């Protein structure tokens, strides 16, 4: 393997690890939805395997491209994308946001007498699994 190929493989690996950490358990789903969005918007994904970036990676291996199409997939909505519809998996960022919202000081999470207290505790514990 040449030095350029090795550098390209390292860049691809680093990009994938960055996305895996960011997307958490939703990594595979986000990747699939990004591909579906690209297919819907561009009529195919061949372009991602045809363009080589300056660091040797293919265009489709760059994390910013994956993020962009994953974001577009979220904006387009599941019903507009071609392919199988599935239940959305939460990213660590989304889980953190929901935990912060549910554990507000003035909410049921902190009030043992509130009728929804137990439900909030249970939901927050479930959300923590995504972190």
Provide the sign of the torsion angle of the four alpha carbons 3, 8, 13, 14, taken in this order. positive
What is the reported pTM? 0.66
| Residue-number span of the structural domain to which 20 is assigned | 3-80
Give yes or no for residue 82 having a pLDDT over 70. no
Please choose, from the candidates 77, 73, 78, the residue with its C-alpha nearest in 3D space to the C-alpha of residue 37: 73
Characterise 83 by phi-psi region: left (phi > 0), alpha (psi -120 to 50), beta (else): left
**Quick one: 65 and 123 in the same domain?**
no
Q: Could you give the number of structural domains in the chain?
A: 2
Estimate to the nearest angstrom the gap between the alpha carbon of 14 and the chain centroid. Answer: 16
**Quick one: 16 and 76 in the same domain?**
yes
pLDDT in tens, 12-52: 999 999 999 999 999 999 999 999 999 888 888 898 889 99
- Other Cβ atoms less than 10 A from the Cβ of 33: the count is 23
Tokens of 19: 């996305």
87 occurs within a structural domain: no
85 occurs within a structural domain: no
**Quick one: 26 and 64 in the same domain?**
yes
pLDDT for the residue numbered 124: 92
35 occurs within a structural domain: yes
Helical pair 63-76 and 3-23, crossing angle rounded to 10 deg = 40
């Amino acid at each position: 393997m040449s030095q350029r190929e090795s550098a390209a493989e390292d860049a691809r690996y680093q990009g994938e690890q960055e996305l895996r950490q960011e997307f958490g358990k939703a990594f595979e789903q986000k990747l699939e939805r990004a591909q579906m969005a690209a297919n819907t918007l561009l009529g195919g994904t061949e372009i991602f395997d045809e363009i080589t970036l300056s660091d040797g990676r293919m265009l489709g291996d760059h994390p910013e491209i994956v993020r962009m199409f994953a974001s577009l997939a979220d904006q387009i909505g599941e019903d507009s994308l071609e392919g199988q519809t599935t239940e959305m998996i939460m990213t660590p960022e989304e889980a953190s946001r929901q935990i912060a919202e549910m554990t507000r000081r003035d909410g049921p999470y902190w009030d043992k007498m509130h009728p929804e207290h137990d439900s909030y505790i249970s939901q927050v514990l479930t959300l923590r699994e995504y972190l």
